[in-house]
Amino acid sequence: MTNFNKIKNPLLYAGLSMALFSQGAYAQKSSSIVDQLQFTWQVKEGQNIRKNPVSTIILKNKGKTAVQLNDWSLWFNFIRSIDPNKVDGRFAIDHRNGDLFQVSFKKNNFLLKAQDTIHIDFTTTGLVNYTDGPIGLYIKNNKTGISTDVKHYSAVKTAPQSDTEKADYWSYKYDQNKLTEGVESQSIIPLPSNISISHNKKFNITADTKFFIDAELSSEGGFLTDFLNSYTGIKPSTSAAQQAGIVIVKTNGLKAESYHLNIDEKGIRIEASDKAGAFYAIQSLKSLINHQQWNKTTKSIALPYVSIDDSPRYGYRGFMLDAARNFHSKSEVLRILDLMAAYKLNKFHFHFIDDEGWRLEIPSLPELTAVGANRTANFEDGKGIQPAYGSGATAKAHQFYTVADYIEILKYAQARHIDVIPEVETPGHARAAIKAMRARFAHYTKAGDKQKAEEFLLDDADDKSVYNSAQNWNDNVMNPALPSTYHFLSKVVDEIKAIHEKAGVPLKIIDLGGDETPSGVWEKSPKILAFMKENNISNVLDVWPLYITKINKLVQDKGLIMSGWEEMGMRNKGKGMEVNAELGKSDIHLNVWNNLPGQGQEDLAYRLANAGYKVVYTSAANNYLDMSWDRDFADPGHSWVGTVNLNKTYSFSPENFFINLRKDDTGKDLVKEAYTNKEQLTAEGKKNLLGIKGALWAEKVSTDQRLEEMIFPRLIAIADRAWAQEQAWEKGDSYEDATYRKSYTAFIKKLGEDELKKLDIIDGGYTYRIPKLGIKQEGNQLHINTDYPGFKVYYTDNGNNPTTQSKQVNGAIPFQKGKKYLFKVFDAKGRSGDVIAY
């Protein structure tokens, strides 16, 4: 729940505390009901999961007494739509708002006897994997209105599929994996600009090796000594420069973030012109050290002679984390920052505000977290917002970052040369803020203070506009006609800026969102009509560019740069969104995600950059890390982009996107219109391409384990593409797959055989994704490989789940028709992936 010590008007939210206390008390009384009921979701047999399949929630009474279902309703979050006209007449399934659905039991005297089962069948839009299923289930008593989270629920991770379909899928994966064999590993991730290496000659770091670190670079050198202290048995000591085996010095003339790293018979010498360059040289040195030497028993580290001159390709190398849809703790954010720094990523786009949650404390507006970070089944009282994306009935405590938390994150990032870019969504994706300010309005209206009630109001109560947002909200857009909307944004930006100043980390750029404002919005708002008349606007579509202009000025007047999603640089003149050239020189920075192959906007990033906008290419087709890796029903994630595996991420060519754009994620040929007659980057456009970014949207990511599985190792591929210079396969008009495969294979060999082993060690270990298998039958043999190397595969043919004590795959294994083979991939620590049945 919210931190009441931070609220200036605690009596305002006393009712919230009592409501939650009552809910907790009732949960004890109703525990027998939730203990009795067991829920399972699965796709029904015989369904094509891609074409409006029928799935079912199986409700079983596993208790000893009957349950009167008419007394209850079932609520859950579901990311797909449900056809209400194709539901069994005994039930009704109603969409409430967002992703929240309610199941009512309509049959008279609907009694579920002990040990009986009922099936609640419903038809939905296409499914891709089990994470499309219902989550966050809770039951609500229709008489008392009190809700209780479901205790026993599971989603079946398999879907109807023939043996032939399965075999074809595993065979396709095997063929793709087979293409990445037989190439020498690259030595460092990210790949340096220029590297000359001799593995035949070694320099050894031992306990006798002395350090010399320039005073100006002492904080950076501390990261190297900390590494040796924490992950090896070597305790470094310092000396004068001429006696040191490891020298870190400042030099003149190198570009920002650049460095020289030399290892020879004299030792290790690092030169940089700024702190960031020295820091990145140390990361390269750590990458050069094999994981086997990351051990507390290590007394000597053998390093090959090497000469490196290195600079980043892009000044913006970023990652966006969504902590609004599902909250992720400060400690997890710090873990993510550690690996960002290790792989030379330098921009952390912090998306902590959206429809489903406001996650940053704003001291002067306590309602933002008291209401906006409080997801509860009691949302109708206005003191919270509705459950979303699996949050359940009961509000969770401390689901936001305090000022102190945020300051710690800022300082931690700054020390690792990472800029934090906070995002405040406007005008769309603003439901949490709108509901919080509506609660403030209700409180001060009741107190008779009209001025305070309306001071930060974000919506027009008389607005009758009808719309449906991308996430199915009908009330999530701020009203640009209200002066209070700008007053609110100004207040929030000022407070965030003040927090940065308090942290000693000045705010330079703030993101104001600007994405996915739905059609139909503002059309029936009396205040918008008056606003249009006042500004000589005849078409409601022209409110959009005016709003962007106004908020850009608001931000710039505070000495800041405004960034936002691509729509900020676009407008609709009646035929859909197009580039708004009029704002191209307004210094708005754009995160451009829309390049989905075959959908007509493949060159949007280039058109915006050519028009003058500063662009961060956030390619959804390659770098959206919430997308599923594979077409396997057990693989978690979204699917609207298609699958995004490691190869897809690495294959992104930021300045020549169409060079390898020929097939979709299933291997089928794309229509030629996806990659022909498209606008290319001009010379000026290239100057406006600031860099690239990966993004993780958290609708399906409710745990830190899932977060790390979705991010890693794909984010490491993004880091390599952002830092490494343009590769040979990216250049020109013709694409050579063999050249690309050599580059990609060198990367994944280093990744799988060395870097991921380090992720087992750093910060106690990360739960990166265990690779999936490829399986191909040839005659009476099965051939097995994995998405990336460095992992062991065990199998059984007796029906038992594989363990590390089972038979290990070493080459082809004998295949006997009629037998069931079960496979499992394990990492060095014994962590394993899903069981794969063949």
Torsions phi, psi for 400 (to 5 deg): -155, 165
Q: What is the pLDDT of residue 111?
A: 94
Contact 762, 712 (CB under 8 A): no
Q: Token pair for residue 283?
A: 């990361």
Spell out the residues 6+ positions from residue 226 whose beta carbon is closer than 8 angstroms to its own: none
Q: Collapsing DSSP states into helix, strand and coil, what is residue 466?
A: coil
Pairing state between β 792-796 and 807-808: antiparallel
Whole-angstrom distance, CA of residue 801 vs CA of residue 816: 18
Residue 672: how many other CB atoms lie within 10 Å: 9
Q: What is the pLDDT of residue 242?
A: 76
Contact 330, 272 (CB under 8 A): no
Residue 389 has pLDDT above 70, yes or no: yes
Whole-angstrom distance, CA of residue 512 vs CA of residue 519: 19
CA-nearest of 469, 466, 471, 442 to 454 is: 442
Residue 24 has pLDDT above 90, yes or no: no
Least confident of 158-172, 498-512, 683-697: 158-172
DSSP type of residue 385: B
Q: Which residues pair with 420 in a beta bridge?
A: 348
pLDDT in tens, 37-57: 999 999 998 888 888 999 999
Residue 684 has pLDDT above 90, yes or no: yes
Whole-angstrom distance, CA of residue 354 vs CA of residue 364: 19
Q: Can you give the pTM of this predicted structure?
A: 0.95
Contact 602, 664 (CB under 8 A): no
Pairing state between β 37-43 and 54-61: antiparallel
Residue 2 has pLDDT above 50, yes or no: no
Q: Concatenated DSSP letters for 642-707?
A: ----HHHHHT--TT-GGGG--B-TTSPBPPGGGTSS-PPPPHHHHHHEEEEEEEE--TT--SHHHH
Residue 666 has pLDDT above 80, yes or no: no
Q: Token pair for residue 110?
A: 């609907």
Helix axes 543-556, 526-534, angle to 10 degrees: 80
Which helix (H) or strand (E) segment holds residue 836: the answer is strand 836-837
Torsions phi, psi for 639 (to 5 deg): -145, 0
Residue 231 has pLDDT above 80, yes or no: yes
Confidence tier at 643 by pLDDT (50, 70, 90): very high
CA 182 centroid distance within chain: 33
Confidence tier at 183 by pLDDT (50, 70, 90): confident
Q: Token pair for residue 772?
A: 């999936």
Q: What is the mean pLDDT of residues 569-576?
A: 95
Q: What is the pLDDT of residue 667?
A: 74
pLDDT in tens, 311-360: 999 999 999 999 999 999 999 999 999 999 999 999 999 999 999 999 99
Residue 218: how many other CB atoms lie within 10 Å: 14
Q: What is the mean pLDDT of residues 758-767?
A: 97
Least confident of 416-420, 488-492, 814-818: 814-818
Q: What is the pLDDT of residue 30?
A: 55
CA-nearest of 578, 582, 624, 580 to 601 is: 578
R_g of the chain computed on alpha carbons: 28
pLDDT in tens, 698-729: 999 999 999 999 999 999 999 999 999 999 99
Q: Token pair for residue 130?
A: 């089990």
Q: What is the pLDDT of residue 199?
A: 93
Q: What is the pLDDT of residue 241?
A: 74
Torsions phi, psi for 126 (to 5 deg): -50, 140
Spell out the residues 6+ positions from residue 838 whose beta carbon is closer than 8 angstroms to its own: 166, 167, 170, 775, 782, 820, 821, 822, 823
Q: What is the pLDDT of residue 562?
A: 98
CA-nearest of 747, 730, 729 to 738 is: 729
Whole-angstrom distance, CA of residue 125 vs CA of residue 86: 12
Q: What is the mean pLDDT of residues 126-142?
A: 95
DSSP type of residue 753: I
Whole-angstrom distance, CA of residue 377 vs CA of residue 146: 8
DSSP type of residue 569: G
Most confident range, picked from 606-615, 638-647, 667-676: 606-615
Residue 657: how many other CB atoms lie within 10 Å: 24
Contact 427, 488 (CB under 8 A): no
Average pLDDT of the chain is 93
Q: What is the pLDDT of residue 6?
A: 34
Least confident of 22-31, 159-168, 523-532: 22-31
Torsions phi, psi for 628 (to 5 deg): -70, 150
DSSP type of residue 755: I
Whole-angstrom distance, CA of residue 735 vs CA of residue 730: 7
Q: What is the mean pLDDT of residues 2-19?
A: 35
Contact 736, 269 (CB under 8 A): no
Name which residue leads in pLDDT, 16 or 479.
Answer: 479
Residue 8 has pLDDT above 70, yes or no: no
Residue 497 has pLDDT above 60, yes or no: yes
Q: What is the pLDDT of residue 31?
A: 57
Q: What is the pLDDT of residue 668?
A: 82
Contact 639, 629 (CB under 8 A): no
Q: What is the mean pLDDT of residues 83-111?
A: 95
Residue 4 has pLDDT above 70, yes or no: no
Least confident of 644-653, 667-676, 712-721: 667-676
pLDDT in tens, 414-434: 999 999 999 999 999 999 999
Looking at residue 316, its amino acid is Y
Is residue 704 classed exposed, middle or buried when 0-12, 13-18 and 19+ CB atoms within 10 A define those classes? middle
Q: What is the mean pLDDT of residues 358-379?
A: 98
